[in-house]
Amino acid sequence: MRYDFALLFTVLTALTGLIWLLDTIFFAPARRKAMAEEQSAIDEATEAAAMRIRAALAKERVPDVEVGCNEAGIGIGVANKEDVERMLTLLKREMPELDVQPEGDGLQANLRDAGARTRVPLVVDYARSFFPVILVILLLRSFVAEPYRIPSESMMPNLLIGDFILVNKYAYGLRLPVLDTKIVKVGEPQRGDVIVFHPPIAPDQVWIKRVIGLPGDTISYNNYQLTVNGQPVPSEKIGPYVGQGSGADMTGATVVREDLPGRSHTILQKDLPEMAQDPRANGTWTVPSGEYFMMGDNRDNSEDSRFWDHHTLPEANIVGKAELVWLNIDFGAKKMDGSRIGTIIR
């Protein structure tokens, strides 16, 4: 099940912001006035209680006593520590409406019932606390960067199962969250870019592949030979691949350096005989305007443009450009690979 976090954060931002706004306009002014009146009444009652305390202590002839109002209530300072217990007993007997407790070298007294207090409603308190946080998260995820996790082997050897990647959301333009409408055009995908997108065959999912064909290109792939606009893409076998964790089943595949025009990167291929290859993997495709031809780096284990009904990716389906690996946790193999952290995606 895929959660639409953009929709979730948009709804939460709108809801908390609306609650805060309505409270600020319609309810907060009256509440502040009521709270000010209540505080004034409490201050008057506290001052009156302090005067009664002074009178009670004077009647009992307790020497060297200072009584004054403070933020916590009424502070009572005593010069002679031996008088503290006597004063405590006296005030509890004569003024039961006060809560009197020892504090430091003296006593602290507070009104037990200061009257009903007007408070900020809990829902409003939560809304104004969470709104700025949710808004910042929404803006960062929508316009700056967003994390994704690699769930499959399709981009090996460059991206491994369990890689958590950071996706640049502004590399190809700014889009409104949820609506995915481009509002600012920044750049266009280049051949060799690794991008995150919603595949036409499963638009509710998020996949990652490499841009092989640009609008107007003719792409051919036949028996592991990639051709772009009639020009074979040079490649060189480097050696056997040694898989790890959940990708160990790819051990023995051949690591190949592929030199796309202007971009060199590595791929994996099993060097299967042509008769053993999936016939859909071989063919020739022309890329329409505004669309891109995508391929995974693991050429024998990637459900990419070669296998789609429409074969190309509309520009509107692009989420952003994959930039780096910020964490790797292979849940299948129950291991974490710290050496992957900070890996630049090329």
> Given a cut of 70, is residue 315 above it in pLDDT?
yes
**In the structure encoding, which two tokens stand for residue 323, read together?**
């930039």
Highest mean pLDDT among 43-47, 99-103, 259-263, 267-271: 267-271
pTM tops 0.75: no
**In the structure encoding, which two tokens stand for residue 185, read together?**
């055009």
Closest CA to 300 of 205, 214, 223: 223
> Given a cut of 60, is residue 116 above it in pLDDT?
no
What percent of the chain is modeled with pLDDT above 70? 98
The pLDDT-based confidence of 1 (bands split at 50, 70, 90) is very low
> Beta strand 73-78 with 98-103: parallel, antiparallel or unpaired?
unpaired
Among 87-91, 287-291, 303-307, 315-319, the minimum mean pLDDT is found in 87-91
- Position 148 scores a pLDDT of 87
DSSP assignment letter at 135: H
The pLDDT-based confidence of 2 (bands split at 50, 70, 90) is low
> Given a cut of 80, is residue 115 above it in pLDDT?
no
- Position 6 scores a pLDDT of 78
The mean per-residue pLDDT over the stretch 268-296 comes to 92
The pLDDT-based confidence of 305 (bands split at 50, 70, 90) is very high
Among 113-117, 122-126, 308-312, the minimum mean pLDDT is found in 113-117
Pick the more confident residue, 5 or 295: 295
Helix (H, G, I), strand (E, B) or coil at 50: helix
> Given a cut of 90, is residue 326 above it in pLDDT?
yes
Pick the more confident residue, 75 or 132: 132
- Position 343 scores a pLDDT of 93
- Rounded to the nearest 10 degrees, the angle between the axes of helix 83-94 and helix 28-59 is 120
The mean per-residue pLDDT over the stretch 21-50 comes to 87
Q: What is the mean pLDDT of the chain?
A: 88
pLDDT in tens, 144-196: 778 888 888 999 999 999 999 999 988 888 777 777 777 778 889 999 999 99
pLDDT in tens, 182-228: 777 888 999 999 999 999 999 889 999 999 999 999 999 999 999 99
CA 29 to chain centroid, in Å, comes to 34
The mean per-residue pLDDT over the stretch 14-26 comes to 94
Q: How far apart are CA 293 and CA 65, in angstroms?
A: 88
Q: Which residues are catalytic?
A: 154, 209
CA 271 to chain centroid, in Å, comes to 41
Q: Name the CATH superfamily, with its identifier, for domain 145-340.
A: Umud Fragment, subunit A (2.10.109.10)
Q: Tokens 């299948």 appear where?
A: 332
Pick the more confident residue, 100 or 156: 156
Asked if 1 contacts 204 with a C-beta cutoff of 8 angstroms, the reply is no
Distances (CA, A) of 81 to 74, 113, 226: 18, 29, 93
Helix (H, G, I), strand (E, B) or coil at 218: strand
- Position 3 scores a pLDDT of 60
The domain locations on the chain are 5-111, 145-340
Q: How far apart are CA 318 and CA 208, in angstroms?
A: 10
Backbone angles phi, psi at 289, to 5 degrees: -60, 140
- Position 229 scores a pLDDT of 96
What is the secondary structure of 252-294 as a DSSP string? TPEEEEEEETTEEEEEEE----GGGS-GGGSEEEEPPTTEEEE
Residue 36 makes CB contacts below 8 A (sequence gap 6+) with none
